């Protein structure tokens, strides 16, 4: 199994407090303070916290990511773009955008593709990761979703939104075996321990989203 230092793991982690719904401002401040010593890939916050997170983390050279149409992806395209525009205006460095799973499972691939292209266009040079719900799709469906996402000009997938949707090693391997380095993959959902993280990385994961960043880094149980 791969062996990575704390700093190497930190650089692959999007850390969130999402495991605690309705966090208070005091809890958010405490979370920011605990994360401050580590150089993470990004700190993930809900849209309402983007501006305060940017004010705190940008002076520390730390990226901030937020979620769009989260967790179900069932907003209209227009609503998604409005939410994106606000997040970008507030200073988000990365956007995790939920794919319209209902449209996808209904076979409306043109709607999915058109929306993803609009998302890519509005984001400009900012990083976009598309949440495609690997836990709810067959392998064939997951590969089809990945193909649509890549063809829309987005080369970064996020497996799941969390909320009980667990990412497996098979989910990661399927994408990597088909697309290799053409698509980056973030494992999200169920990655809570140091060993979970190492196994995901060995399977080909490029990034890890977790609400247990300190356990994943191996600095607490």
Other residues' Cβ atoms within 10 Å of the Cβ of residue 182: 11
Is the residue at 1 inside a domain?
no
In sequence order, the 6+-apart residues with CB closer than 8 A to the CB of 189 are: 135, 159, 160, 161, 162, 163, 164, 165, 166, 167, 209
Is the residue at 221 inside a domain?
no
Is residue 207 within a helix (H) or strand (E), and if so which, with residue range? strand 207-210
Quote the domain boundaries for residue 142: 6-216
- pLDDT score of 163 more than 80: no
* CATH code at position 105: 3.20.20.70
Q: Is the dihedral of CA 42, 72, 156, 95 positive or negative?
A: negative
Band of pLDDT at residue 20, cut at 50, 70 and 90: low
Band of pLDDT at residue 162, cut at 50, 70 and 90: confident
Length of the chain: 221
Calpha distance 173→142 (Å, rounded): 12
CB 206 within 8 A of CB 157: no
Is the residue at 189 inside a domain?
yes
Structure tokens at 91: 């200073």
pTM as predicted = 0.95
Predicted pLDDT of residue 25: 86
Q: How many domains does the chain have?
A: 1
Structure tokens at 53: 């997170």
- 189 in the Ramachandran plot: left (φ > 0), alpha (ψ -120 to 50) or beta? left
- pLDDT score of 21 more than 70: no
Calpha distance 193→216 (Å, rounded): 5
Q: What is the largest CA-CA distance in the chain?
A: 46
Is the residue at 113 inside a domain?
yes
Predicted pLDDT of residue 19: 53
- pLDDT score of 18 more than 90: no
Over residues 71-127, the pLDDT tens digits come to 888 899 999 999 999 999 999 999 999 999 999 999 999 999 999 999 999 999 999
- pLDDT score of 221 more than 70: no
């Amino acid at each position: 199994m791969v062996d990575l230092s704390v700093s190497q793991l930190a650089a692959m982690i999007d850390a969130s407090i999402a495991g605690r719904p309705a966090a208070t401002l005091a809890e958010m401040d405490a979370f920011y303070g605990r994360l401050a010593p580590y150089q993470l890939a990004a700190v993930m916050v809900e849209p309402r916290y983007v501006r305060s997170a940017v004010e705190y983390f940008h002076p520390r050279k730390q990226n901030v990511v937020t979620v769009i149409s989260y967790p179900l992806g069932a907003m209209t395209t227009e609503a998604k773009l409005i939410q994106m525009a606000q997040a970008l205006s507030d200073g988000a460095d990365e956007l995790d955008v939920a794919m319209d799973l209902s449209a996808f499972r209904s076979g409306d691939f043109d709607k999915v593709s058109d929306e993803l292209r609009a998302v890519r266009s509005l984001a400009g040079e900012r990083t976009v990761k598309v949440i495609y719900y690997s836990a709810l799709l067959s392998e064939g469906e997951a590969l089809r979703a990945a193909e649509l996402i890549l063809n829309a000009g987005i080369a970064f997938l996020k497996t799941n939104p969390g909320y009980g949707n667990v990412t497996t090693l098979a989910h990661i391997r399927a994408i990597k075996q088909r697309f290799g380095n053409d698509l980056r993959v973030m494992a999200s959902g169920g990655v809570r321990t140091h060993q979970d993280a190492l196994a995901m990385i060995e399977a080909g994961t490029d990034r890890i989203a977790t609400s247990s960043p300190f356990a994943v880094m191996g600095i607490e149980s």
